Each structure stands twice: as C-alpha cells, then as structure tokens.
Structure 1
C-alpha cells in the first residue's frame, strides 16, 4: 500500500477541498492517527484516520452555501461580454422573504463565493454558490453522484430513435455520455435528469437528435429543489439540508 498526499486523501473523503486542506495543514489543524501534521506535502496511508482540529471545524461551519434562481442574461462565474455575473444578485434586498435560515446576510458571505456547477447565460433556474469546498466537490467533483433535473422547451422534429438516444447512446467530444433519464412532459417540453455536466450538454444532445432548445430551467440538484424560490432571488442552504 502506497502513501498518498494527505490533502488529496482529505478531499477524497469529503473533509474539505485540497486547497483548504493545505491551509489547515499549514496551521497545524490536521491530525493523522492523532498526531498533528504541519508540513505541506505530507503523506499518509489510505487507511489512516484523519481528523480536523476545532478551529478548522468552526471555519467550515461559518461557510455559507446559497441557492439562487438565476434569470437568463447572467453568467454563472466571471463577468464577460458586458454581462453581469450571477453573484451580483446576492444582496440583502434580493433575499427570498420565505428564507427560514437563521443567518443574517453579511458581506463576508460573498468572499470566496463560487458557483458549484455552470448554468449557461441563456438558461435559468437553480444555481448553487458556495464558500464550502466540500459542497463544491459533492456537486461537481469527478466522482459526484448528485443528479440534476431540468425542464427543457424544444422546437423541431425529433429523430425516430431520438428519445432512446437522449436516454443513452450519444457521444460528446468523442466520449460516450452517461445514461440519462429523458421523457416528454408535453408536446414541446422534455424533462432531463443528468448525472454529469458537460458544457452546454443538453443543448448539444438535443441538436444531435434534430431538436433546438428554446428554454432551459434547472429545477433540482440532488435532494435540493428550486421550489417556490422566485426568479432573481436567493436563500441560504439550511442546516440539515443535503444534496445527497
């Protein structure tokens, strides 16, 4: 059995991101089998116990995750081509009045807040922004098992085997896609449930079977649904609320 960098093991176990792990190690907030580790690049065996000191746990507890109903016209991450980033909508005035989280909005909640998964500029719906590397890894890590649900309005005439191909059998960028769940809700709307998130995946999938997407809305990520959150408004992820 070979040793692995402790920061990598911590990320794989969902304790934090690798960047956060390095920060905690530098501060002496990480123990391996009860022994404090303070040297970056230190390694451990995969079966060793890794624990965090109280300051690291407190720092994680203070980090927020925000759910936003992103409108069309906003980009998920950095501003581009004159368009505003979705994070600019996170203001005290745009907080959902029905938010039951006990937190009071503070400008520090915007520090390091980043989208966990893209949502195209011409798409709307649930966008998760978080300060917590554990949440980001759970949603967009290579081994993520969190599914995402979308409502998709389309135009055009679908190929005879198009629905079957949308469920399984298409390739993008030379690689086969994971099995999806796709069904008609009415004559011009499809419901997609995906287990991956390639760039503009649904639009490209639809094009391959003769359809054009004219409206796309993400309504769920794992166990967290958009619900009645109004467009352009946001709320905090509540304590005890989990994506998986």
Structure 2
C-alpha cells in the first residue's frame, strides 16, 4: 500500500512541482513526446508517476522554453492588468514596437508571436501605476503568483490622513502586522514612512486592492500607488507607458 509520500501523481503536476515548467507547458510537451520518465517517452496526458521517478525533457522543449519572453511594463493609470473590462484596455496593448523603451539594448527583436500566451504574473489595479510583469514562461508565473510564493513586492503609496493630525504609531504598527482582510489575518508586512505624505510598503502577498483596504482600516486615503520592485527586479528608470524585456541575468 502506498504511503502519502509515494502516492502516484499526475506527471504534469510533478513537472510543475519540480520547477521544470507550468502544468500547461507540461501537457503540451507530453503530447509532443518530449518527456521521458525513467528513460521512456511518455506521451499520454493524465499519466501518473511516483515522486521518486526520474523525469527528463528533450532538447526541443528546452529550446522552445528559451524562446519564451518576459516583459516589464511601467503601467499608467487607466489600464487593467489582464483581460479588457468595462471599456478599459489591457496592459498588453502597450507591448508594441513603437512603445519599447529606447534604452532596452537586449538583442531581442519584437515579433507579434511574443504576444501569444503573454499573461500578467500578478495584478496591478486600474488606479495604480508601476511595475507589471507579463510573461510567456510558466516557471516565472508560478514563482511570482503561485500559492507558495514568498517574493516581495515594494510599493510607494501617497496618502492623506482623514482624522486630522498624523497617523498614530500604533496604527503604523497595525499596518505592519495585525490587520485582517476577508476574515483572514494578513501576513506581516514592512511599512514605514518614506516622507511626510508617502509610505513604503513591502508585501509578500497580493489580495485584491490590499494596500488601499489596509490604509482605509487605519483612516488613510490612498492618493497614489506605484509598484517599484518585484523580488530583485526594480522598475528603475523605465518611463511610464513603456516596456522592456527581462534579461537572462535578471532574477526575481
């Protein structure tokens, strides 16, 4: 009888767990005959394997994966991160030859095929600006928005205090740890004053409109919100409305 540690699981799920690719990519590679388990080609979707079985991928899969691009955008207000909604354009509309940052010197030529399966790895709401990642690489998406992610995201948040005077230290401490949203305690954050009307937030989670709702809970109104860093990748000097490619040397 199998123990929980050696129960069979779907090959595509195991490949994703190992960081080889996303589950969608895994299914594509399996159907093309690019995946071997213990040296034997497995081409049937839904195949289950044991966790200790050895998985290898063919060179074609690695070559195809290396062609996948990741794009960094400095999103302006008024664009949505993903699918078009309520008449607003999605951020991917900005990924054109003309909109590429002039200082992006990577030797990658833009081609419309790069827009296929180019999806946001995390959200940035319509009223917010700053760093937004769009990627074709399932490994990057999983790293940034998977259930177990612990990647830091840093924001500059301009605020006004609705109760007069200044925000009490006790409420600043609550922003760091002690607030609840949607019936759940938030993970500890790092929140400090950047200057007299701007806070610096560093979070390891991303609930919908989380920073705005955190601020509301302590009597602050958000006037402007800009994401400036995801992991080790910074927005830097990328102008608003422009985009560039993520280089091979940059790691989140």
Matches of 1:60 and 1:74, distance apart in 2: 29
Q: 2:207 aligns with which of 198, 201, 206?
A: 198
Q: Residue 159 of structure 1 contacts residue 209 of structure 1 at CA under 8 Å; is this kept in 2?
A: no
Q: Residue 159 of structure 1 contacts residue 210 of structure 1 at CA under 8 Å; is this kept in 2?
A: no
Matches of 1:155 and 1:51, distance apart in 2: 55
Q: CA deviation at 1:15?
A: 1.1
Please name the residue that 1:142 is paired with.
147
Please name the residue that 1:27 is paired with.
32
Q: 2:232 aligns with which of 223, 237, 243?
A: 223
Match status 1:91 vs 2:100: no
Pairwise CA RMSD of aligned residues?
1.0
Match status 1:172 vs 2:177: no
Task: Write the mapping of 1:1-244 to structure 2, written as runs, cut at 5 A.
Answer: 1-156=6-161, 157=163, 158-243=167-252
Q: Tell which structure's C-alpha radius of gyration is larger.
A: 2
- 2:98 partner SS: helix
Matches of 2:14 and 2:87, distance apart in 1: 40
Residues 68-92 of structure 1 show CA distances to partners (whole Å, capped at 9, x for unaligned) of 0000011111111111111101110
Structure 2: tracts of 5 or more residues without a match: 1-5
Q: CA deviation at 1:33?
A: 2.1
Q: TM-score, normalised by structure 2?
A: 0.94
The aligned length equals: 243
